[in-house]
Amino acid sequence: MLDDIQKKYIKKESNYGAENYKPLPVVLSKAKGVWAWDVNNNKYLDMMSGYSAVSHGHAHPELLKVFHEQSAKLSLTSRAFHTDQLGPYLETLSKISGFEMALPMNSGAEAVETAIKSARRWAYRVKKIKPNTAEIIVAAGNFHGRTTTIISFSDEGNAKDDFGPLTPGFITVKYGCADSIENAINENTAAVLIEPIQGEAGIIVPPENYLPKVREICTKHNVLMILDEIQSGLGRTGKLFAFQHACTGCDCAVNECKWQPDGLILGKALGGGFIPVSCFLSTKEVLRNMSPGSHGSTFGGNPLASAIGKRSLELLYEDNLIENSRIMGDYFKQSLLNLNSKIIKEVRGKGLWLGVEIDPKYISGKDLSLMCLDHGILCKETHETTIRYAPPLIITEEELSWGIDKISTVLKKVEKVAA
């Protein structure tokens, strides 16, 4: 129940801000680790992690140290000059990911735009597609951002209604069906752009052979395979990258494997929960076509972002976050299944990235999120019937068990009303 203090803050947001979000009725004021507190000092378990942007936990002490030290020395110069932070950051990105080069940006949407531009330029200059004819194949149910170009290939009505004219050059096929991709390829196809696991669609995991088949098809037809791992990457699924779940017998964090895509889009967790940091990773053949003046960003690759990004990557291993995501994710998923709740129709996902499909005849996703909020759990529905759970990768079994108990209590209350 909102009190006058929270109502005051919410009213100010409503009065002075465009209502392009529908936040839950809580006013947060501080956070540490996996916990957040509202203005009345009520405590909540963060099961959202800023859609994976806070994978390291809130106010990670090492990242906070880097943030303070680097911002006190040099935070921004623009790319008109070299800095002592960008090179080491790019080197770390390359060595950890196995990709040859990176183009740094800020938001995830910017990195997707970068991937699109890079793929098109490669198509014209290397593959020799006719000018202004390049096409990119995307998947139904995708979410890659909200810029004008990106919404042009979304199939979410509200994301594109009354924002036209939209950008052409995108072909939509069924997600999880590699054959539909091959059938859509023609002489103008530059790239395939997909999520290895669809996030906004409700944590949709494709068939196991999907990505390997897409890789084979793209290689066969000389088409770039580009994966958007803005949410799924950097340990979220229990692997460094979600596409590595298709790999066996290889260490993709160090050596390129046969399923590795031609391009990878990263963001969110790369900024450690402090600032927007993103990048597009690819080969020299692709990124060397991006000549001076062809693309850029005032803040992209700034010294502060570079320092934070480099340390965020290192901490994935120093804090054992990838393995913890795998172990805690398995525990979380099995615990939810063990609840044997008739409210839950399905639990999807990998690692600490789960989508719980609920039966709408008992309760809506929004109302279940509100009930979880009342019991100290921060989560949010997507597509009305799926609750997404994605706690920080630092979460312990004790903290997770606390959350599972709260979720169980909520589900039992719903079942009691429905009985």
Given this model, what pLDDT does residue 419 score?
73
pTM, two decimals, is 0.96
pLDDT at 254: 47
If you search the block for the tokens 């990457």, which residue do you land on? 233
- Name the catalytic one among 213, 268, 333, 380: 268
38 part of the active site = no
The tens digit of pLDDT for each residue in 161-189 reads 999 999 999 999 999 999 999 999 999 99
Which residues make Cβ contacts (< 8 Å) with residue 153, sequence separation at least 6?
136, 138, 142, 144, 167, 170, 172
Is the Cβ–Cβ distance between 195 and 112 less than 8 Å? Answer: no
**Residue in 228, 239, 310, 380 annotated catalytic:** 228
Computed over every residue of the chain, the mean pLDDT equals 96
Q: What's the Cα-to-Cα distance from 133 to each of 15, 129, 189, rounded to whole Å?
A: 45, 7, 9
Note if 228 is an active site residue: yes
Whether residue 268 lies in the annotated active site: yes
Q: Which regions in the chain score pLDDT beneath 70? A: 248-257
End-to-end CA distance of the chain: 26
Compute the residue count for the chain: 419
pLDDT digits (tens, 9 = 90+) for 344-369: 999 999 999 999 999 999 999 999 99
Q: What is the side-by-side strand order in the sheet with 354-358? A: 344-349, 354-358, 386-389, 380-382
Give residue 157's pLDDT. 84
- Domains (ranges, CATH) in the chain? 4-56+321-418 (3.90.1150.10), 61-318 (3.40.640.10)
Annotated catalytic residue within 38, 46, 67, 143? 143
Decide if 42 contacts 374 (C-beta within 8 A): no
